[in-house]
Structure 1
């Protein structure tokens, strides 16, 4: 009886390790494939981004696309909060505040696009997700352009815009590989 229990535990451990290894392999394979076609998305950035979500360890390719899209949406929400903080700290009539209001508008739209993109990935509507992710990707550039048009360089949003853009590009690249 004890040897049967021991055998069962060993089998369960092997199955667990195999499934963990397969999921980790899925992340590595996905990230290597993305980086091969998109050198601007390094494999280590892709892996570290996806593994930041514990659900990635057991996700298939579609699940990884969903995780990347949701991480992008979370980043957009944080960026909206940061923009609002900057607006509150500045003179509301300043050029910076006007530019920040443009950023607030485009990032608020991006939040909606990214939530809809996540729903599209879940529903298997990958073309819709690609369209929504592409629209959301423009937010960082539009925000930077608002400052550039006023001769303000670098913008106070340059770090946030760069991080956001990398995340959305990753999500877009993964979704674009789905059938």
Structure 2
């Protein structure tokens, strides 16, 4: 009888552990479904895929809650901004045109500021669910959103030519918007 009770207890624990893993995995999918809603059907499908792909790149997303997912996305955005800043630095090193150099200097400063903003947002988010900190993180993410486009426009206006930034450099905007959407959902759920 004791063996049967022990076996039953182990089975219950295994089922609870499996349920917890399933609940966490569905957090990622549920969150991506929520942030993709509101767009047209084709756009929602694309955005859902982008969300799952982006978050799925980090193994921690499998066990993260919604706020944890925002932290993951902000860290991805920070890595993207750093990589773009490094690319801009390489372009600066070989640039001979004074106009292009001026624009690259401006973009480099903007991306350095972007990395700092994302670092502060990451710290605010990692501190937990304090609404003031989450609101500050959202404000910082709003400042970051559109950074690649601002750099692109500077090239057109100041250098009179297309930007040397690539599609990979423009990923920053998509990732930042994803972080904002998830964070806004966290803030709205907390207000209820």
Which bracket does the TM-score occupy, shorter chain normalised?
A: 0.7 to 0.9
How big is each residue's C-alpha offset from its partner over 1:33-90, in whole Å with a ceiling of 9 and x where there is no partner?
1011354771010011111111111111111111111111111111111111121232
Q: Which residue does the alignment assign to 1:21?
A: 22
Measured after TM superposition, the shift of residue 161 of structure 1 is 3.7
Q: Within the alignment, does 1:152 sit opposite 2:161 as a pair?
A: yes
Query: Helix, strand or coil for the counterpart of 1:15?
Result: helix
**Distance in 1 between the 2:4 and 2:116 partners?**
56
Q: Which residue does the alignment assign to 1:115?
A: 119
**Distance in 1 between the 2:10 and 2:79 partners?**
39
Over aligned residues, Cα RMSD in angstroms?
2.1
Structure 2 counterparts to residues 158-169 of structure 1, below 5 A: 158-169=166-177
- The range that moved more, 4-13 or 93-102, is 4-13
Q: Which residue does the alignment assign to 1:31?
A: 32
Contact (CA 8 Å) 2:80, 2:169: kept in 1 or not?
A: no
**Distance in 2 between the 1:2 and 1:156 partners?**
69
Could you list the runs of 5+ residues in structure 2 that have no partner in the other structure?
Answer: 188-192
Which of 77, 95, 106 is 1:102 aligned to? 106
**Distance in 2 between the 1:121 and 1:24 partners?**
21
Contact (CA 8 Å) 2:32, 2:51: kept in 1 or not?
A: yes
TM, length-normalised to structure 1: 0.87
Measured after TM superposition, the shift of residue 151 of structure 1 is 2.1
Could you list the runs of 5+ residues in structure 1 that have no partner in the other structure?
Answer: none
Contact (CA 8 Å) 1:113, 1:136: kept in 2 or not?
A: yes
Q: Within the alignment, does 1:60 sit opposite 2:73 as a pair?
A: no
**Distance in 1 between the 2:168 and 2:144 partners?**
14
Structure 1 residues 10 and 95 mapped into 2: Cα distance closer, same or farther (>3 Å)?
Answer: farther
Measured after TM superposition, the shift of residue 4 of structure 1 is 6.7
Which of 135, 142, 159 is 2:143 aligned to? 135
**Distance in 2 between the 1:54 and 1:3 partners?**
37
Which of 152, 165, 182 is 1:174 aligned to? 182
